[in-house]
Amino acid sequence: MNPSRHEHTIAGSCQVTGRGYWTGQAVTVEMHPAACGSGIRMIRSDLPSQPECPANLQYREAVAMRTNLIKGEARFQMVEHLMAALAGMEIDNCIVEVNGEELPGLDGSSLGYVEQLATAGLVIQAQARKHLVIRERYRIGQPESWIEFSPSLRGESCFEYQLSFDDETPIVPQAFQVELTPDRFMREIASARTFVTMQQAEEIRAAGVGSHVTNQDLLVIGEDGPIDNHFRFTNECARHKTLDLIGDLALAGVDIVGRVTSFRGGHRLNAEAAARISELFVSESAHADSQPNNRIQRPEAA
Ligand SMILES: [Zn+2]
């Protein structure tokens, strides 16, 4: 990620269709170009008033196992894989129209979004992208699950996920790290799929949701690996957790220049990390504004 880059939008519109994991509802996501500085704007195109919710941390709803946004009638479930696709491809401004509440599960990854967005193409915009340079190391969370930020040596953005579940799960400890660029996101992260253990899948189905979801629609991991499916990468689970981390941190609305390492983090901790990034960005901006050298030089009055 280039810290001095400009904002991007897409050159044309594109769409993705599918069914939501939780609701089973068929849904279409239309993505359209948007003006610089406008961010990611989510619109419920199926409702008469077409209510809108900015894809911003302040509208995140605290729920288990996914990231939802809510602003009045504008409700969206499972936005993280769309947000990861947009952030990973450095698409900062986009109007996203969804004709239902839950975004499509697709194959459990961001690949469906990435393919359509890549076909639409990117446009460089006039405004510089906001970014936060991490200047010191700090950590949030608990000893058993944390996210740490630390400075990077060359102004790069690095993401790392260390996965280590409890002994009784069939998912082996694994890690993934990447210096994030759109190219590497597309090749190494976008296709990594959501996963659950067989026990989790049974619990979810017993709760009466996701009955239409098959073992091909995500990874259901048993003692001998994925059931009726194959890993795309040996560390696909750690890559998918990295994808979720990128998507959830994107709700802070700024690029992170530095290293982000998550040890067993999930959506809740990702949201805390995004809040920290947002606070730091606001305080750094206020500090920069108070420095005389950073003020805009105004011409002397005649
Ligand atoms: Zn996910």
Dist. CA 148 → ligand 1 center (Å): 20
d(CA 130, CA 152): 17
Return the pLDDT at 214.
87
d(CA 291, CA 279): 19
Dist. CA 30 → ligand 1 center (Å): 20
Placement of tokens 């996210």 in the chain: 147
pLDDT in tens, 208-251: 888 888 888 899 999 999 999 999 999 999 999 999 999 999 99
Above 50 in pLDDT, residue 298? no
Dist. CA 280 → ligand 1 center (Å): 26
pLDDT band (50, 70, 90) for residue 3: low
CA–chain centroid gap for 237, Å, is 15
The conformation of residue 185, written as its DSSP 8-state character, comes to I
Return the pLDDT at 294.
44
d(CA 178, CA 185): 8
pLDDT band (50, 70, 90) for residue 179: very high
Above 50 in pLDDT, residue 5? yes
Contact 272, 140 (CB under 8 A): yes
Contact 174, 262 (CB under 8 A): no
Contact 171, 225 (CB under 8 A): no
Return the pLDDT at 291.
66
Helix, strand or coil for residue 70?
Answer: strand
Indicate the helix (H) or strand (E) that contains 126. strand 122-128
Instruction: List, by residue number, the catalytic residues.
Output: 267
Dist. CA 159 → ligand 1 center (Å): 15
Contact 13, 31 (CB under 8 A): yes
CA dihedral of 34, 37, 42, 46, whole degrees rounded to 10: -50
Q: Which of the four CATH numbers 3.30.470.20, 1.10.10.10, 3.40.50.1110, 3.30.230.20 does domain 6-294 have?
A: 3.30.230.20
| Burial (CB count <10 Å: 0-12, 13-18, 19+), residue 231 | middle
- Other CB atoms within 10 A of residue 70 CB: 15
What is this structure's pTM?
0.93
Dist. CA 18 → ligand 1 center (Å): 16
Above 70 in pLDDT, residue 296? no
Above 60 in pLDDT, residue 163? yes
Helix, strand or coil for residue 286?
Answer: helix
Domain residue limits, the chain: 6-294
80-88 vs 111-120: helix axis angle to the nearest 10?
40
Task: Fill in the amino acid letter for 123.
Answer: V
> Per-residue pLDDT averaged across 146-167, rounded?
93
The conformation of residue 129, written as its DSSP 8-state character, comes to P
pLDDT band (50, 70, 90) for residue 168: confident
d(CA 176, CA 249): 17
Looking at every residue in the chain, the average pLDDT score rounds to: 92
Return the pLDDT at 136.
94
pLDDT in tens, 93-129: 999 999 999 999 999 999 999 999 999 999 999 999 9
Return the pLDDT at 295.
42
Return the pLDDT at 297.
41
